[in-house]
Amino acid sequence: MKKISVRTSDGQEFELEENLAMESATIKTSLDAFSRDDIILLPNVNSWEMVKIIEFFTKVQELETKFGVKFMEKKEGRFLEAFQAEFDKDLSDDNLYCLLWTVDYLGIEVLLENLCHLMAERTKNKTVESCRNLFGVQHDYTPEEEAEIREDYSWAFEGPEIEE
């Protein structure tokens, strides 16, 4: 299979399998515009991200074979869970954010699906405080404003499934 060469922002070069390269809408556009023998520059992608993306994609292909799931059907639960089981524990929140941006920039739909799922799973049972940390947002409510929401929707703030 033909290999496509890319260079990341920190100068490292990677040779991608053609089928992986074509999953990236961004790379595909570049290939259509220029010759396939040229190296494609990816100034918004770091080398550690590229390594991860290749790792992800290899897993996706493996799961495709295992579950017999075609590309467009990858929203299936088992597929998302298997991907999560493999990668979730070694991915910090910050790394997950970076990868989300990068995969979005590269336009790799199937990986975006999986990463959004990972992000959502991390959020699900968190308390409000933990969510603030996870999302990296400022606490911009006054105590009175926050208390009003909690009172209006008290049922949403209780429950055994919410982690401390």
Partner 1 sequence: MIDSFPEEISHDILSRLPIKCLIRCTSVSKPLLSIIKNSGFIRTHLRRRHETLLLLHSRCYRASMHEGTEEVYRLHCDNPAFDEYCRIDFQVDRMVDPINGRFRVAGICDGLVCLADDLISKALSYIIWNPTIRKAVMLPRPGFTFTTHGPFEDSIGFGFDAMTNDYKVVRLVTLENLVDEDAENPTVAEVYSLATGSWRSLGSVGLPCKIFCTRPHAFFNGNIHWVVHAVASFYFILAFDLDSESFRKILIPIGTELGFNSRVSVTGDGKYLALFTWYNDKNDISYLDIWVMKEYCQQESWTKMITLAPQGPEGSVRPKPFCFRKSGEVFLELREPYFYRRYQTLVSLDPVSQQMNNVDILDCECYSLDSYEESLVLLDVENAVSC
Residues that bind partner 1 (CB under 8 A): 97, 100-101, 104, 112, 116-117, 119-120, 123-128, 131-132, 135-141, 146, 149-150, 152-153, 155-157, 159, 162
* Amino acid at site 156: A
Nearer to partner 1, 32 or 161 (CB): 161
Least distance (Å) between residue 48 CB and partner 1: 19
Least distance (Å) between residue 154 CB and partner 1: 9
Q: What is the CA radius of gyration of the chain?
A: 20
Nearer to partner 1, 18 or 73 (CB): 73
- Compute the distance between CA of residue 124 and CA of residue 113 in angstroms, rounded to an integer: 16
Least distance (Å) between residue 94 CB and partner 1: 9
Nearer to partner 1, 33 or 72 (CB): 72
- Compute the distance between CA of residue 111 and CA of residue 53 in angstroms, rounded to an integer: 8
- Other Cβ atoms within 10 Å of 141 Cβ, number: 12
Least distance (Å) between residue 140 CB and partner 1: 5
Q: Give the residue ranges of DSSP H helices in 9-127.
A: 18-23, 25-33, 47-67, 77-87, 93-106, 109-123
Nearer to partner 1, 34 or 71 (CB): 71
Phi and psi, residue 82, nearest 5°: -65, -40
- Look up tokens 């590269």; give the residue: 106
Least distance (Å) between residue 3 CB and partner 1: 30
Nearer to partner 1, 90 or 94 (CB): 94
